[in-house]
Amino acid sequence: MKPQIVLILALSLLFMSVPAVEAQFTAEEIAQRQYWEDFLKTAEIVRFEDVGEGVTKPVKVYLRKDDVEVKAVWKNPKGMQLGFLEGWQYEIAAYQIDKLLSLDMIPVYVEREFKGKPGAVSLWAESEYNLLKIEEQKIAIPSDARRQVDNKKYLARAFDCLIGNEDRNQQNILYTKDWRTILIDHSRAFRSSKEFTEKLVFGKEGLKKFADGRPILFRRLPRSFVEKVKALDEKTIKEAVGPYLTEDEINAILKRKMLLLAEIDGMIKEQGEDAVLY
């Protein structure tokens, strides 16, 4: 594919309409992943600037290769920051697990050194809204997009349960102009402490609650997602995440897998399979 065509795909990455209910990235965009992984690793950094916001102090970098130039974001949080364990490697691991499960909601992330330090770099996620903006400005979600948005909300919660993400918030849930959901910022995922292996982040007995104490649920999920979760094993996860997760972090995923499947089984027993899975 010619670089000019690839550039058009990059700039429209988050704005193309998606006919399939399940897809957040189109088949063509997904087919371009390997190109962008290679591009992000090898393209020249022609300039950069601080983003100016965010606890993890991300840097906006401009990458150029041949006649293709795109914006990207680089970050390298590591260790305890503001009371939370941060890790740039978790961004890459989340992207790899997203691919493994065919979630297709997380932009490409790869490892890239910048100023002599390792970190994670991704294409800049352009979006029309984030959840905070929607709620603060009382932006109405169109009726024909509501079910898709809700489905992705529940799917994101189930995914966060699996990866032990304790930092899903209104600013890292993004929406495109045509109401596709994009998930960013996973540097506080893959928790491996007892707290995150005995309970899920969301669900009936989840760690996170609404302000009034109600549980934050995932009410319905794709059958294909559940089947892929069932198929996860240590070997498959290791192959996907490479050097980015420790043995304890991988084992924690497997423990949460069983908790997640048990939660889903309980929902099916209470409501019936057709009410829970689609």
Instruction: Output the CA angle 103-218-107, nearest 5 degrees.
Output: 25
When pLDDT is cut at 50, 70 and 90, the band that residue 53 belongs to is low
Question: H helices then E strands: how many in the chain?
Answer: 11, 10
pTM: 0.89
- 114-161 per-position pLDDT tens digit: 999 999 999 988 788 999 999 999 999 999 999 999 999 999 999 999
Please spell the DSSP secondary structure of 133-177, one letter per residue. Answer: HHHHTTPPPPHHHHHHHHHHHHHHHHHHHHHT-----TTSEEE-T
User: Distance between CA 180 and CA 175 in Å, rounded?
Assistant: 5
pLDDT of residue 10: 44
- Confidence band (pLDDT; 50, 70, 90) for 23? low
Q: DSSP class of residue 124?
A: -
The pLDDT score that the predictor gives to residue 3 is: 42
Torsion over CA: 162, 275, 208, 102 (sign)? positive
> Where is average pLDDT lowest: 16-25, 119-128, 223-232?
16-25
Q: Are residues 152 and 24 in contact, defined by beta-carbon separation less than 8 angstroms?
A: yes
Please state the φ and ψ torsions of residue 94, each to the nearest 5 degrees.
Answer: -65, -40
The Cα-based distances of 178 to 56, 72, 103, 183 in angstroms read 29, 22, 18, 15
Per-residue pLDDT of 179-224, as tens digits, reads 999 999 999 999 999 999 999 999 999 999 999 999 999 999 999 9
pLDDT of residue 51: 78
CA gap 1, 237 in Å, rounded: 31
List, for residues 61-89, the tens digit of each pLDDT value: 999 999 999 999 999 999 888 788 999 99
- What are the tens digits of pLDDT across the range 247-277? 999 999 999 999 999 999 999 999 999 999 9
Residue 26 has pLDDT above 90, yes or no: no
DSSP symbol at 277: B
Indicate the residue type of 223.
R
Chain mean pLDDT for the chain: 90
